[in-house]
Amino acid sequence: MAIIDGKALAAKMQADLAKKTAKLKEESGVVPGLVVILIGEDAASQVYVRNKERSALAAGFNSQVIRLPEATSQDQLLKLIEQYNQDPAWHGILVQLPLPEHIDEEKVLFAISPDKDVDGFHPTNMGKFWSGHPVMIPSTPAGIMEMFKEYKVDLTGKNALVIGRSNIVGKPMAQLLLDAHATVTIAHSRTKNLAALAHRADVLVVAIGRGNFVTKDFVKPGAVVIDVGMNRDENGKLIGDVAFDEVAPVASLITPVPGGVGPMTITMLMEQTYEAALRNT
């Protein structure tokens, strides 16, 4: 068993990104700009936004975080997004989820210009992705593919199972695995005989949102296990969707929580902001 160190890989990639950013600024005068909009006081969102801001500044980006009260109206938010859509100094716009209940999440995400949608959630970018011409890709699946590359995981012909079917992780993850010539199955909380199905997988990506859901009974000996989960146990400790201590001895490679997928998600967000700036030079 070996642990996939997402934190170390992210640090390496972000150091390379800082060099690319400095070169871009020197050659063209362009500095990638990322604006993050946060509404309300959700504790987890506050942590995520701080991490994104820290990473953007470390990469040499222009970074702005706009913190708005919970009572901010949908119209106010949409007007703010349009303001940044029209401002050429900003190459990436990110609205931190979840949003308050009175705001239509879909309407907000669709309001972001596809050219600045560094999360990759706009239907235009989703359409390009699914048709084989990706521009912006959801950051978590993109980061997982970088992990496979770094740890020399050959996906060709492998049986891959993705547990979770969200538009943010599960579905795009399945497409990227398919593009890498894996044979892919998508499962979810209502899949029958899920443990038996998972036990046949050479590569297991778990994004179901249930703490310690995947136990050793789910895992084929020697499988590669990627844990996307971010949950809290009864003591408030951060845990994944995979019961790490019992699965790790069975797997050939496994991601920890924290320190696995999370840092790579932020790194790929920064990479896509840089690429958006590059396209505008």
Confirm whether 14 is a catalytic residue. no
Establish whether 279 is an annotated binding residue.
Answer: no
38: Cβ–Cβ under 8 A, 6 or more apart, which residues? 45, 46, 49, 65, 66, 67, 68, 96
Establish whether 165 is an annotated binding residue.
Answer: yes
Establish whether 252 is an annotated binding residue.
Answer: no
Confirm whether 96 is a catalytic residue. yes
How far, in Å, are 48, 116, 167 from residue 6 at the CA level? 16, 26, 22
How far, in Å, are 163, 242, 259 from residue 197 at the CA level? 10, 16, 27
Confirm whether 7 is a catalytic residue. no
Active-site entry in 5, 14, 96, 241 = 96
Instruction: Please tell me whether residue 65 adopts helix, strand or coil conformation.
Output: strand
Instruction: Please tell me whether residue 14 adopts helix, strand or coil conformation.
Output: helix
Helix axes 261-279, 6-28, angle to 10 degrees: 10
The tokens describing 266, both together, are 């932020």
Active-site entry in 5, 115, 117, 119 = 119
Active-site entry in 5, 14, 52, 272 = 52
Catalytic residues: 52, 96, 119
* Numbered residues of the known binding site for NADP(+): 164-166
